[in-house]
Amino acid sequence: MLSVSMDVPDAKNVNQWIGVDRGQNHLSVASLPDGRAKFWTFGNIRQIRRKYQKQRKSLQKQKKLKTLKRLESKERRTITHVNHIISKELVQLAVDCNCGIRLEDLSNIRKTSKQRKKTKSDAAQNRDFWCYYQLENFIFYKAKLAGIPVEKVPAPYTSKSCCKCGAIGSRNKHHFACKRCDSKYHADWGASQNIGKWLGLNCSLVLEKDTSVMDVSVQESGAHGTPLN
């Protein structure tokens, strides 16, 4: 096995962050604190994936498994290539603007997408997540080599709250509208602004029954005099 060692610089101290949103309409949007944004549309990336999907289905029907495997690895190579380009450009943008990179926490995307796309097959979902995970990994290692800090932000409502006033607005495809401050903008851009400006203060609106929280309360009552068991 070949082992390669290289010097990795310490992550810089940065005051500002580029927020990255991996929306449904675009593969990725990165926006700067001053509002400027870079969209990676790759125009036809969705068409490419749809084309592969169609071919996969017909190959499955015809039970041409070898050709199916070849097609799948071709699709992976295409996506890997695209992910390399996006991550490289994003890290370069961060270097040029002296910003860190903030990404939305992936575990959260997984959950909400699951709820949203119940009809989607497991295989299709796995392909989507594989694509996201790979992009995230590329961003992490390229940023590390460039000394750019990367943070993951738990942001369940980044695409639902207004990036200008914080109110919950309405989203219709890629249009976002806020009734409170009358803002209208591209929803993915707004989400990336929210991610970049995250202060660690937003609280989740979803209250979940959390066993670890319940355990704490049991322990606390124990500490206050009630013996545990």
Positions touching Zn ion (CB under 5 A) are 162, 164-165, 167, 178, 180-181, 183
CB nearer to Zn ion: pick between 147 and 166: 166
Structure tokens belonging to residue 186? 């591209």
CB nearer to Zn ion: pick between 8 and 165: 165
CB nearer to Zn ion: pick between 117 and 180: 180
Give the phi and the psi of residue 12 in degrees, each rounded to 5: -70, 160
- CA-closest candidate to residue 38, choices 53, 48, 24, 28: 28
Please classify residue 3 by burial: count the beta carbons closer than 10 Å to its beta carbon, then call 0-12 exposed, 13-18 middle and 19+ buried. Answer: exposed
Q: Look-up: residue for tokens 């961003």? A: 139
Alpha-carbon gap, residue 39 to 41, rounded angstroms:
6
CB nearer to Zn ion: pick between 165 and 218: 165
CB nearer to Zn ion: pick between 164 and 197: 164
Nearest distance in Å: CB 163, Zn ion: 8
According to DSSP, the β-strands at 17-21 and 28-31 are antiparallel
What is the three-class DSSP state of 153?
Answer: strand
Nearest distance in Å: CB 24, Zn ion: 22
Nearest distance in Å: CB 19, Zn ion: 17
Nearest distance in Å: CB 161, Zn ion: 8
Structure tokens belonging to residue 197? 């400006």
Nearest distance in Å: CB 177, Zn ion: 9
